[in-house]
Structure 1
Amino acid sequence: MQDEFEMSMMGELKFFLGLQILQSDEGIKLHQTKYTKELLKKFKMEDIKEIKTPMHPLSALTLGEDSPNVGQMQFQVELREVHLKAVKKILRYLKGTINLGLCFKRSQDFSLLGYCDADYVGDRWERKSTSGGCHFMGNCLVSWTSKRQSTIVLSTCEAEYNQLGIAAPNYSG
């Protein structure tokens, strides 16, 4: 590549686009410890008590008409105090997971495996479902997604079928 492009060797990559990178004989670990610490400092939450989950599984963010309006965010037009409390919970969760990251272990296994799923009408306001999926190469997670479906479906089966069409396009088995 040096014949075609002007290049210089700057040493081992340790930081890229906000990600910290640790390289070893076992593989590569990506993490955002520095960024998370800066985020907690920015919002003066360095000394907050950590929690084990970012939200209760049954809780749902709504427009919260009974909650005071505090500005703009998915609820950018109607940001309420209840939404800020949810963000603070997420920051408390991040405080407890500050040293976690993604590990990509060296392997000779290049098999590709994918998973996908969808909920049914997870968005109570627009009545749309949410799709998600992930792909592994060997034991390493290489991609993931979570996205609100663009259409309104009438059943769980239809939501799952839509997600399958998104996750596995143009495959003819």
Structure 2
Amino acid sequence: MVKYTASTHSLLRRQKPLSPSEKEANDVEVPIFIGSMIGSLMYLTASRPDIMFAVCACSRFQVTPKSSHLSAVKRIFRYLKGKPKLGLWYPSVSLFDLESYSDSDYAGVNIDRKSTTGGCQFLGRILISWQCKKQTIVATSTTKAEYVATAS
């Protein structure tokens, strides 16, 4: 089972949030950014749900990546290098109860003020599914954001 630590949440912590049009940032060679780095990280999210939010946030900038986006992706790789043994663990004996959890933030995406929904499903103590998705509507309150997360 993956343990949540403060370092997993702070993968994207910066002075200012990632945005698609940063004037002071330089363009990055697109094929290298899209093909190898983000693709490799998306593959890793199958066994490392602790990096899913950060990888999905970085993948939003694949069309016109800037140097600040590249440094955020490199920060994820440094995190993975420092925590090589974290990942999913499946015990041989487990209960057969299905449990599901969901949560969302309120207007977490600074660009369009939409909320992000996340959730996970357990079969006994085994994590079998998880997701992280930007909501399709702009919630007007934290209650509405949580309701949309639960409904989805």
What TM-score comes out, normalization by structure 1 length? 0.60
Letter in 2 for 1:60: P
The 5 A counterparts of 1:5-16 are: none
In terms of fraction of residues, the more helix-rich structure is 2
The alpha-carbon deviation at position 55 of structure 1 amounts to 3.2
Instruction: Please give the alpha-carbon distance, in whole angstroms, between the structure 2 residues aligned to 1:71 and 1:137.
Output: 42
Partner of 1:138: 124
Q: Structure 2: state its 5+ residue gaps.
A: 2-6, 35-59
Does residue 111 (structure 1) correspond to residue 97 (structure 2)? The answer is: yes
Question: 1:152 aligned to 2:138?
Answer: yes
Query: What is the match of residue 66 of structure 1?
Result: 24
1:94-153 C-alpha deviation (Å, 9 max, x unpaired): 111223321111225111111100111111112211000011111111111100011111
Q: Which has the higher contact order (CA 8 A, sep 6+)?
A: 2
CA distance in 2, matches of 1:108, 1:160: 30
In 1, distance between residues paired with 2:70 and 2:81? 17
State how far apart, in whole Å, the 2-side matches of 1:134 and 1:162 are.
15
Evaluate the alpha carbon distance shift between residue 110 and residue 160 of structure 1 in structure 2; reply closer, same or farther with a 3 A threshold. same
Match of 1:88 among 74, 85, 101: 74
Residues paired across the two proteins, number: 116
Tell me how far apart the structure 2 counterparts of residues 68 and 108 of structure 1 sit (CA, whole Å): 50
CA distance in 1, matches of 2:64, 2:94: 50
> Which one has the largest radius of gyration?
1
Confirm whether residue 55 of structure 1 aligns to residue 41 of structure 2: no
Change (3 A) 1:57 1:162: farther
The aligned amino acid for 1:101 is G
State the distance in 1 between where 2:129 and 2:15 align: 27
What TM-score, normalized to structure 2?
0.67
Q: Which has the higher strand share?
A: 1
RMSD: 2.2
Distance 1:120 1:57 in 2: 19
Identity of aligned residues (%): 40
